[in-house]
Amino acid sequence: MDTRNYHHLIDANAPAAALAIDYPHGHVIEAHRHAYAQLLYAIEGVLTVETADGRWVVPPTRGVWLQPEVDHQVRMRGDVKMRTVFVNAGPVGASPGWPGLPQQSCVLEIHPLLRELIVAAVGIGPELEADSRDWHLLRLLVHELRSVPVLPLYLPLPADAGLRAICSTLMAQPDEPTTVGMHAAQLGIATRTFHRMFLRQTGMRFGHWRQQARLLLALEQLARGDKVIDVALAHGYNSQSAFTAMFRRHFGIVPSRFFD
């Protein structure tokens, strides 16, 4: 089932609705948008969600929250068992009746209770009676979404075409060794100007962005079951230990335990 064609599944009075869809590795859902806020979650595999503003990498135990009317593409890394929730959050930029829901697209932690609520919600049909067990289950699911932590699994992209082209190259070749000075020369600007433009357009320093890009891209390979040493070398690290140390500092856990 294509998640773009879901409107008939949602009761206008329901708090939320959930779908279960499985996809093979490499499958791409082309750019589209929804009228409702959406939580994208995979109980297996990794989702890469891209918008005009950036990219989210979403492993199991994490989910990406998308605001209504956000154009997004979804790419599957590994065989993916997607469980997606559409939330009746009201007009764009507002959440009447649901204060506390995220007001911007982001990655959320999916704790065990929330995971079970999502799985249970998949079995609920589109027609609901107010105050029924299923109605309360969906309300509890949305309440839980208001309290889960936002996680740093986002890679913003600059608007400037030249900077964006450099970012695209680095995302395709994470071990690419070009220096900042060389990138600046490529654009015909001073190194200081490059740093200032990049920070202004992404909110991140270039070195931090490149490190974040390597770590998020590494997650995609780790999800396929690639060896940690192979992933480390492919993403510009000189050793497995250096990669593991950086991974632990960023995510609080070693790569081999991340998908447990």
Q: Provide the pLDDT for residue 90.
A: 53
Please name the residue that has the structure tokens 């135990």. 61
Identify whether 1 is part of a domain: no
Check whether residue 165 and residue 115 sit in a common domain: no
Q: Provide the pLDDT for residue 163.
A: 95
Cβ partners under 8 Å of residue 94, min gap 6: none
Q: What residues of the chain score a pLDDT lower than 70?
A: 1-13, 89-99, 259-260
Whether this prediction's pTM lies above 0.85 is answered by no
> Residue 176's domain is classified under what CATH number?
1.10.10.60
DSSP state of 101: S
Identify whether 2 is part of a domain: no
Give the tens place of pLDDT for each residue, 119-128.
999 988 777 7
Q: Provide the pLDDT for residue 4.
A: 46
Last residue of a domain, one of 151, 168, 201: 151
How far apart are the C-alpha atoms of 53 and 50, rounded to whole Å? 8
Please name the residue that has the structure tokens 């071990």. 175
Identify whether 184 is part of a domain: yes
Check whether residue 40 and residue 140 sit in a common domain: yes
Residue 168 belongs to domain spanning: 157-257
Q: What is the DSSP string of 4-44?
A: TS-GGG--TTSSEEEEEEEE-TT-EEEEE--SSEEEEEEEE
Domain count, the chain: 2
Q: Provide the pLDDT for residue 10.
A: 62
Contacts by 243-249 with C-beta closer than 8 Å and gap 24+? 243/218, 246/211, 246/215, 247/215, 247/218
Last residue of a domain, one of 151, 186, 220: 151
Q: Provide the pLDDT for residue 126.
A: 72
CA–CA distances in Å: residue 96 to residues 13, 18, 138, 180 = 13, 20, 16, 46
Identify whether 163 is part of a domain: yes
Q: Provide the pLDDT for residue 247.
A: 83
The CB density around residue 138, as the number of other CB atoms within 10 Å, is 25
Distance of CA 144 to the CA centre of its chain: 18
Q: Provide the pLDDT for residue 190.
A: 95
